[in-house]
Amino acid sequence: MLTGQEYKESLKDGRKVYFQGRLIEDMDAEPGLSVPLNAVADGYDKYYSSAPDAVNPVVSAPRSVQELRDRIPELMELDLVLNVTYQSLMTVLVAAGRLEGAAPQYIPRIEAYVEKARREDIRITECITDAKGNRSLHPGKQEDPDAYVRVVSRSDDGVVIRGAKLHISGAALGHDLMVMPTKTMRPGEEDYAIACAVPVNSPGVHITNTTYHPLHGDPRDYPVSSHESMPDSMCIFDDVFVPNERVFLDGETEHAAVFAHSLGLWERLGGISFMVQQADELVGLAHLIAEANGTAKVSHVREKIDEMMIHATLLRAGLEAAIANAHSTPEGYYYPDDMFTNVTKYQGASQFGVMVRHLHDIAGGAVVTAPSMADFENPTLHPYLEKYMSTGGGISGEYRSKLFHAIRDTTADAYGGWHLVTNIQSGGGLYAQRLVTRKNYDLDRARALGLKAAGLAS
């Protein structure tokens, strides 16, 4: 296993990482990258063991419903890159089970890769969303054939790929990029049916980075995003060679969606696990700021908080249902139920904006206009700010302002905007969850009940 410092040294491998147009030599010297870098390093130190055969226990696959349930609280404590590593390994293991009868030649490669990744203690990030070009056209019909990642040449020892993957969280901070087809491919689109693991420092790989990390300003005004940021990337593959042992699908169009479906399942489980915690956090902030404002007993405020609590409870119930109805692969690895996972993710994503609207309505305009925390340190301003931001009853102006900054940072600033989009898009947009629901819902039973109610049952 690696220590946090050894992990940071391992990233100095010649990788091409860019930030704000600049090629970055030392990520630790960039505020927008150093905070997440050190968070990942802290995760290494947390699980480090000096035993020669030690592996990170987090990246082992659950072998029972209870193990899967017990894993959820632990996942919530992980840095995002370790969490995504877990998702990546679980994705290919579930995919291997689904390939067993159709493309068994890839299963030994997948199993060997998973074992090697665990043994070497590497971090892996998921690359699934393509540039896509004209969304109305299939991959094989695009004006630019590189709009979807594709194989441009094959040899006896591997393949060469070209294209780009977008919206990749933490790509610059991992060791490997897990490339997967973004959708079902059709006959004639064999070159786009490619799944493989690409080292970040492979020649031809370029990684851009954007971030919601507050690059300027007082961290006290950004109490969450200043220490929980994670960059998102575009990963460019400019004729990158991938050896055969790292290729997990190549040309089998009928199985291209296996990886996307497996990834979506694990990514949505992680997403709804976070949504459950996030929903409770919003309830807590709403209740605290209502108390601080003196409106906690106002009827419409109480009703909004009630709705927020109902939403949070429904998400928790959906998460529990996804786990309680888990399924197992032929190897005995347990994964959450597709139906409950997708329905819960849909509910959390589609209602997030409504819950945030309730919170803003309860809190008021000071969410975006409260004085900075540095203003409270100004000896001239301090007494005025305490006088006018306080609401009496032991509620100081500074205490109330800290609540406003927490609400703004998490829901009304760059970090909040990031959540608004990613809650919908991560693991596939709302339409993807509707498709999975349509596929898995017991419509025959519902129709039979309808016929019985109408007196039409035979």
Centroid of chain to Cα 83? 8
Class of residue 239 by CB neighbours under 10 A (exposed 0-12, middle 13-18, buried 19+)? exposed
Q: How many CB atoms lie within 10 A of CB 132?
A: 15
| Fold match flag (4-253 vs 258-448) | no
pLDDT of residue 332: 83
- Cβ distance 377 to 303 under 8 Å? no
More confident residue, 253 or 98: 253
Residue 9 backbone phi and psi in degrees, to 5: -70, -35
Best mean pLDDT range from 78-92, 270-284, 380-394:
380-394
Q: What is the pLDDT of residues 411-447, one digit of tens each?
A: 999 999 998 998 888 777 888 889 889 999 999 999 9
Is residue 348 very low, low, confident or very high in pLDDT (cuts 50, 70, 90)?
very high
Overall size of the chain counted in residues: 458
CATH level 2 (architecture), domain 258-448:
Up-down Bundle (1.20)
For residue 20, the SS3 value is coil
- Cβ distance 83 to 124 under 8 Å? no
Comparing 34-43, 193-202, 209-218, 395-404, the range with the smallest average pLDDT is 209-218
pLDDT of residue 336: 86
For residue 30, the SS3 value is coil
The two three-digit tokens of residue 48, written as one number: 């480090």
Q: What is the pLDDT of residues 124-142, one digit of tens each?
A: 999 999 999 999 999 999 9
For residue 262, the SS3 value is helix
Is residue 291 very low, low, confident or very high in pLDDT (cuts 50, 70, 90)?
very high
pLDDT at 311 over 90: yes
What single DSSP character describes residue 115?
H
pLDDT of residue 61: 78
Q: What is the pLDDT of residues 239-285, one digit of tens each?
A: 999 999 999 999 999 888 888 877 766 777 778 888 999 999 999 99
More confident residue, 263 or 375: 375
pLDDT of residue 324: 94
Mean pLDDT to the nearest integer, 346-357? 95
CA-CA-CA-CA dihedral for 365, 367, 372, 378, to nearest 10: 50
The two three-digit tokens of residue 361, written as one number: 């309505």
pLDDT at 329 over 80: no
pLDDT at 184 over 90: no
Candidates 73, 77, 75; CA nearest to 89 is 75
User: Domain 4-253 in CATH: superfamily?
Assistant: Butyryl-CoA Dehydrogenase, subunit A, domain 2 (2.40.110.10)
Cα–Cα distance for residue pair 323/341, rounded to 1 Å:
8
pLDDT of residue 409: 96
Q: Kindly give, in sequence order, each residue whose CB lies less than 8 Å from that of residue 356, ignoring residues fewer than 6 positions away.
A: 282, 411, 416, 420
The two three-digit tokens of residue 447, written as one number: 């129709």
- Cβ distance 92 to 113 under 8 Å? yes
More confident residue, 73 or 209: 209
- H-state helical runs in 294-381: 299-324, 338-363, 366-369
User: Domain boundaries in the chain?
Assistant: 4-253, 258-448
Across the chain, what does the average pLDDT equal?
93
- Cβ distance 194 to 150 under 8 Å? yes
Read off the amino acid at residue 117: A
- Cβ distance 179 to 149 under 8 Å? yes
pLDDT at 410 over 80: yes
For residue 124, the SS3 value is strand
pLDDT of residue 15: 97
Burial readout 108-130 (b: 16 or more C-beta within 10 A, e: otherwise): ebbeebbeebbeebbbbbbbbbb
Q: Kindly give, in sequence order, each residue whose CB lies less than 8 Å from that of residue 129, ignoring residues fewer than 6 positions away.
A: 165, 166, 167, 168, 182
Q: What is the pLDDT of residues 141-183, one digit of tens each?
A: 999 999 999 999 999 999 999 999 999 999 999 999 999 998 8
Mean pLDDT to the nearest integer, 195-206? 98
Q: Is the dihedral of CA 58, 315, 412, 403 positive or negative?
A: negative
- Cβ distance 212 to 415 under 8 Å? yes
Burial readout 81-99 (b: 16 or more C-beta within 10 A, e: otherwise): bbbbbbbbbbbbbbbbbbb
pLDDT of residue 98: 81
pLDDT of residue 265: 67
The two three-digit tokens of residue 3, written as one number: 């220590």
